Chains A and B, each alone.
Chain A
Amino acid sequence: MSTLHSKAAHEFLKDVDKTTWHDATFWSVRTKRDIMAQGLPEWESLREHASDIKKHTITHLADYLEMFSDHLERNGVIVHWAKDAQEFNEIVFGILETHKVEKMVKSKSMLTEECGMNAYLMERGIDVVETDLGERIIQLLGQKPSHIVMPAIHLKREEVGRMFEEKGISKEIGNYDPTYLTRCARQHLRNQFMEAGAGLTGANFGVAKTGDVVVCTNEGNADMSTSMPKLHIVAMGIEKLVPDYESLAVFQRLLCRCGTGQPTTTYTSHFRKARPGAEMHVVLVDNGRSDILGNPDHWQTLKCMRCGACMNTCPVYRRSGGYSYTYFIPGPIGVNLGMLRNPVQYSDNVSACSLCLSCDNVCPSKVDPGSQIYVWRQQLDSLGKADPMKKFMSKGMTTLFDNPTLYNTALKFAPLANDVPECMTHFSRLNPWSIGHDKPHFAGESFHEMWKKGEVK
Chain B
Amino acid sequence: MRIGLFIPCYVDALYPEVGVATYKLLKYYGLDVTYPLKQTCCGQPMANAGFEQKAEPLAVKFEEMFREFDYVVAPSASCAAFVKVFYPRILEGKHECLTSGKIMDVVEFLHDVLKVMTVPGTFPHVVSVHNSCHGVRELGLSSPSERNIPPFNKIIDLLRLVPGITVKEPERKDECCGFGGMFSVEETDVSVRMGTDKLNRHIATGAEYITGPDSSCLMHMQGIAKRQKMPIKFIHVVQILAAGL
Contacts and interface: CB of A to CB of B under 8 A. Distances in A.
Nearest to A449: B16
Interface string B166-203: 00000010111011111111111111111111000000
A357 B45 CA distance: 17
B50 A433 contact: no
Contact of B183 (A355, A395, A400, A436): A355
A315 B175 contact: yes
B17 A443 contact: yes
Nearest to A405: B38
B41 interface: yes
Interface residues of B, number: 75
Interface string B1-44: 00000010101111111011001100000000001011111010
| Interface range, A side | 35 or more
Question: Among A379, A387, A407, which residue has the most Cβ atoms of chain B within 10 A?
Answer: A407
Q: Which 4 A-B pairs have the closest CB atoms?
A: A437-B223, A436-B192, A354-B180, A377-B50
B101 interface: no
Contact of A456 (B11, B23, B144): B23
Interface of B: 7, 9, 11-17, 19-20, 23-24, 35, 37-41, 43, 45-55, 57-58, 61, 133-134, 137-138, 144-149, 172, 174-176, 178-197, 219-220, 222-224, 226-227
Contact of A386 (B7, B11, B50, B185): B50
Contact of A443 (B15, B149, B181): B15
A9 B192 CA distance: 12
Interface string A388-407: 00110111011011101001
Interface of A: 1-3, 5-6, 9-10, 13, 19, 23, 27, 34, 37-38, 40-41, 43-44, 313, 315-316, 319-320, 350-358, 360-362, 374, 377-381, 386-387, 390-391, 393-395, 397-398, 400-402, 404, 407, 411, 414, 428, 432-433, 435-443, 445-448, 450-452, 456-457
Given A398-B58, A436-B196, 10 more contacts: A44-B148, A358-B146, A386-B50, A386-B51, A394-B46, A395-B51, A398-B51, A402-B58, A440-B223, A443-B16
A387 B187 CA distance: 13
Given A401-B41, A432-B188, A440 B14 contact: yes
Contacts of A407: 9, 40
B223 A438 contact: yes
Contacts of B180: 353-356
Given A13-B189, A351-B186, A394 B54 contact: yes
Given A315-B176, A435-B188, A436-B224, A357 B51 contact: no
A315 B190 CA distance: 9
Contacts, number: 224
Main secondary structure, interface of A, reads helix
Given A400-B40, A401-B40, A6 B137 contact: no
A19 B193 contact: yes
Nearest to B145: A34
Contacts of A316: 187, 190, 194
Contacts of B220: 437
Given A390-B186, A402-B61, A432-B188, A354 B148 contact: no
Contacts of B195: 436
Contacts of A411: 12-13
B187 A436 contact: no
A1 B181 CA distance: 13
Given A3-B186, A402-B58, A448 B146 contact: no
B183 A441 contact: no
A6 B50 contact: no
Contact of A361 (B11, B137, B178, B188): B137
Nearest to A3: B186
B158 to A, nearest CB: 22
A378 B50 contact: yes
